[in-house]
Amino acid sequence: MFKMLRSDVLDLVALVGIDPDSDGLKRAKGLGLLAPHEGPEWVLDPGNNIDMIFDATSAYVHVRNAPKYREAGIVAVDLTPAARGPKVIPAVNLYEHLDSMNVNMVTCGGQATTPIVYAIRRAIDELPYAEMVSTIASLSAGPGTRANIDEFTVTTSAALREIGGASTSKAIIVMNPADPPIMMRNTVFGALPEGSDHDAVIASILEMVDEVARYVPGYHLKNEPVIEEGPFNTPGGVVPNRVVALLEVEGAGDYLPPYSGNLDIMTAAALRVGEAISIHKSGATA
Amino acid sequence: MSTQTTHRDFRLIDSTLRDGSHAISHQYTEDDVINIVKGLDAAGVEVIEIAHGDGLGGSSFNYGFSKVDEKLLIARACEATTNAQIACLLLPGIGIADDLREVRELGVNVARIAVHCTEADITEQHIKVAKKLEMEAIGFLMMSHMSSPEDLVKQALLMQSYGADTLYIADSAGAMTTEDVRRRVNALVNALEIPVGVHAHNNLSMAVANSIAAYEEGAKNLDGTSAGLGAGAGNCPTEILAAVSTKYGIETGVNPLALMDLAEEIVRPMMPRQQVIDRAGLILGYAGVYGSFLLHSQKAAERYGVSQAEILLELGRRKVVGGQEDMIIDVALELARAHAAQEGQ
């Protein structure tokens, strides 16, 4: 919400909830926004004239409403794991789905690591295997994520292949309860076949980190990427080396505390996508 | 030799083929599995656990790749056993529900769902899948030295409510004293309707004593591994637990001499290093760091020319949990950078 209020492209009109007493709705009201608690019904009411919705409900709720939004001509940027529309990672495929009425933001870990996998892939001929490990503070993992953790690993792993370009992949998520809570950490491992240009791989990763940091300011490397020697018996075949990129995402601290980088990267990426679609559409109709 | 009438004061679960996998960097072959399963089965062990050391789906850059696909090894184990049940372990976030479905088809009938001791609610999905597949579901709370008895009870009650048949606490860092174990087991036995188990590690040389103490407080399940093969300084050695139990007059239903033969003739010859409590192993227990970090931190120390002990102590300070093996590289790089800066001055 706070990020959207700062947007020059989008005009945030409402924060829609289902609980009239929720803290979020109260805050929205305090900022002069509409804060209805009638949920999707309100969004779909033609009188309210909504062009775009950022849906952070749940996969179940989104699946039920996605066709209705489409029918009503409302663009849906889906922050749930429902995956009704194409997956979008802004730093990689932002411009490929601008005409889509429904785009999916994958997962927080997917937003943090797919760009790096793509960066490794573009620097070498073939990326036989890529792996990501996300560690998030226990406090920042909501009950939806916790009740269905397989959704996170399966969806993220698919993004590393479909968008990142790895031939095979694996995604791992770990919850850490330490107090004070830890920042979101993401580690990417890429399998480097014989003859890979290691300098090119590292340069490509550094460039990509800058690219992502443009829309997620708290996104940075904790250490320079390193090349380690194996051999490694990966699912994509035995490789002599691997590259390791150790990333951290610090949240902007708008509404949620800085350790919630996992939530921040989702909202920042979704906003980037929403703005791009909006600019594209206004250009098309002008 | 074991029959349905054998009386057992506690159930022994052997994890040589799961936790032991850490100590050999996940290099088990089909022959190793067949030999070990046959030995444990013949000695009367009731449950044999097998999987990658980090559970189903653990084969990865982060935890080490398996030499042989674990599903193939599990299939061999299911074929090789006569009486013993075959168990697996799964950490939600690493393995997925489909892994449970696959191994169920192979003949696995016990599923241990393992999680850091404060995160029980992420096991609901997997415990329920295990129950639907008609498996015994064991909730397994790792690093339980990090939680108080009261907090462990809260987490254990959640797992019980999801349908867990048995509740285990694991001393994954080998960091608990006998008193620590007694207080936890006592609280759990009093609060739960389901049986309690303890999985001990030997970093402080307490594994057998802690297991016996757990039994005295009412634990009905105890874990061991042949020759203590396992993460960190190793586990509670199955053959020693059986021998000590006999001395105490505790009925195990297993044959200690047959377990000694297995440890001596099959397991020890295939171990790349004997399971000793060296400095790094002791530091894990002393600093309360996840046992499977041992070999990974040794490798990182060699790669970046830094001290393994320093890596482990820093990981302890950062309160990393099981699964965060990537932080070993992170810490090693930071130490290397700090050293380089010092030398530059």
Q: Which residue among B93, B116, B124 places its CB closest to the CB of A172?
A: B93
Q: Specify the amino acid at residue A225.
A: P
**Would you call B318 an interface residue with chain A, using a CB distance cutoff of 8 Å?**
yes
Placement of tokens 């600019």 in the chain: A279
Q: By the 8 A CB rule, do A183 and A258 touch?
A: yes
What is the tens place of the pLDDT at every residue in A160-219?
Answer: 999 999 999 999 999 999 888 988 999 999 999 999 999 999 999 999 999 999 999 999
Question: How far does Cα B140 stand from its chain's mean position?
Answer: 9
* Omega of the bond leading into A231 within 30 degrees of 0 (cis): yes
Residues B239 and B92 in one domain: yes
Residues B80 and B140 in one domain: yes
Q: By the 8 A CB rule, do B189 and B218 touch?
A: yes
For residue A178, which residues of chain B lie inside 8 Å, CB to CB?
A: 318-319, 321
Return the closest-CA partner of residue B230 out of B11, B24, B12, B13: B24
Q: For the domain that residue B152 is a member of, what is the CATH number?
A: 3.20.20.70
Residues B231 and B330 in one domain: no
How close A103 comes to chain B (CA, Å)?
25
Question: Do A2-105+266-285 and A108-256 agree at the fold level?
Answer: no
Q: For the domain that residue B338 is a member of, what is the CATH number?
A: 1.10.8.60
Residue A286 has pLDDT above 50, yes or no: no
**Can you tell me the distance from the alpha carbon of B9 to that of A246, in angstroms, rounded to the nearest whole number?**
49
Does the distance separating the beta carbons of B303 and A244 come in below 8 Å? no
**Can you tell me the distance from the alpha carbon of B184 to that of B198, in angstroms, rounded to the nearest whole number?**
10
Does a structural domain hold residue B4? no
What is the tens place of the pLDDT at every residue in A110-133?
Answer: 999 999 999 999 999 899 999 999
Does a structural domain hold residue B2? no
Return the closest-CA partner of residue B201 out of B125, B266, B145: B145
Burial of B118 (0-12, 13-18, 19+ CB in 10 A): buried
ipTM for the predicted complex: 0.94
**Would you call A244 an interface residue with chain B, using a CB distance cutoff of 8 Å?**
yes
**Would you call A169 an interface residue with chain B, using a CB distance cutoff of 8 Å?**
no
Q: Which structural domain range is residue B307 located in?
A: 292-344
**Would you call A227 an interface residue with chain B, using a CB distance cutoff of 8 Å?**
no
Residues B169 and B241 in one domain: yes
Q: Which residue among B93, B116, B329 places its CB closest to the CB of A246?
A: B329
Placement of tokens 């998520």 in the chain: A173
**Can you tell me the distance from the alpha carbon of B259 to that of B254, in angstroms, rounded to the nearest whole number?**
8
Does the distance separating the beta carbons of A246 and B326 come in below 8 Å? yes
Amino acid A246: pLDDT: 97
**Averaged pLDDT of chain A:** 92
Amino acid A148: pLDDT: 82
Residues B185 and B240 in one domain: yes
A&B contacts, CB < 8 Å? 105
Mean pLDDT of the A82-98 span? 94
Residues B104 and B151 in one domain: yes
Does a structural domain hold residue B118? yes
Neighbours of A46 (CB within 10 A): 8
Residues B242 and B313 in one domain: no
* Omega of the bond leading into A180 within 30 degrees of 0 (cis): yes
Residues B39 and B183 in one domain: yes
For residue B67, which residues of chain A lie inside 8 Å, CB to CB?
A: 233
Does a structural domain hold residue B228? yes
Residues B75 and B189 in one domain: yes
For residue B321, which residues of chain A lie inside 8 Å, CB to CB?
A: 174-178
Amino acid B5: pLDDT: 63
How close B330 comes to chain A (CA, Å)?
7
pLDDT per residue, tens digit, chain B (345 aa), is 444 568 999 999 999 999 999 999 999 999 999 999 999 999 999 999 999 999 999 999 999 999 999 999 999 999 999 999 999 999 999 999 999 999 999 999 999 999 999 999 999 999 999 999 999 999 999 999 999 999 999 999 999 999 999 999 999 999 999 999 999 999 999 999 999 999 999 999 999 999 999 999 999 999 999 999 999 999 999 999 999 999 999 999 999 999 999 999 999 999 998 999 999 999 999 999 998 999 999 999 999 999 999 999 999 999 999 999 999 999 999 999 998 888 876
Known catalytic residues of A are: 108
Q: By the 8 A CB rule, do B34 and B45 touch?
A: no
For residue B62, which residues of chain A lie inside 8 Å, CB to CB?
A: 131, 133, 172, 187, 189
What band does A284 get if pLDDT is binned at 50, 70 and 90? low
How close A96 comes to chain B (CA, Å)?
31
Amino acid A263: pLDDT: 85
Residues B231 and B263 in one domain: yes
Return the closest-CA partner of residue B290 out of B209, B120, B170, B179: B170
- Per DSSP, the residues of A106-127 read --HHHHHHHHHHHHHHHHSS--
Strands (E), A62-201: 75-78, 102-104, 129-137, 168-176, 184-192
Amino acid A142: pLDDT: 81
Using DSSP, state whether A55 is helix, strand or coil. Answer: strand
Mutation for B interface: A175, A229, A238, most B CBs within 10 A: A175
Does a structural domain hold residue B44? yes
**Can you tell me the distance from the alpha carbon of B34 to that of B21, in angstroms, rounded to the nearest whole number?**
14
Q: By the 8 A CB rule, do B223 and B236 touch?
A: yes
The H or E element spanning position B116 is strand B110-116
**Would you call B313 an interface residue with chain A, using a CB distance cutoff of 8 Å?**
no
Does the distance separating the beta carbons of B337 and A223 come in below 8 Å? yes
> How many independent structural domains does chain B possess?
2
Residues B261 and B301 in one domain: no
For residue B93, which residues of chain A lie inside 8 Å, CB to CB?
A: 149, 152-153, 172-175
The CATH homologous superfamily to which domain A2-105+266-285 belongs is NAD(P)-binding Rossmann-like Domain (3.40.50.720)
Does a structural domain hold residue B282? no
Does the distance separating the beta carbons of B67 and A149 come in below 8 Å? no
Q: Where are the domains of chain A?
A: 2-105+266-285, 108-256
Architecture, CATH, for domain A108-256: 2-Layer Sandwich (3.30)
Q: B329-338: string of b/e by CB count within 10 Å (b at 16+)?
A: bbbbbbbbee
Does a structural domain hold residue B91? yes
Return the closest-CA partner of residue A111 out of A263, A243, A251, A222: A263
The DSSP letter of residue A95 is G
The pair of structure tokens assigned to B332 is 């090693």
For residue B326, which residues of chain A lie inside 8 Å, CB to CB?
A: 133, 135, 185, 187, 244, 246
Residues B241 and B298 in one domain: no
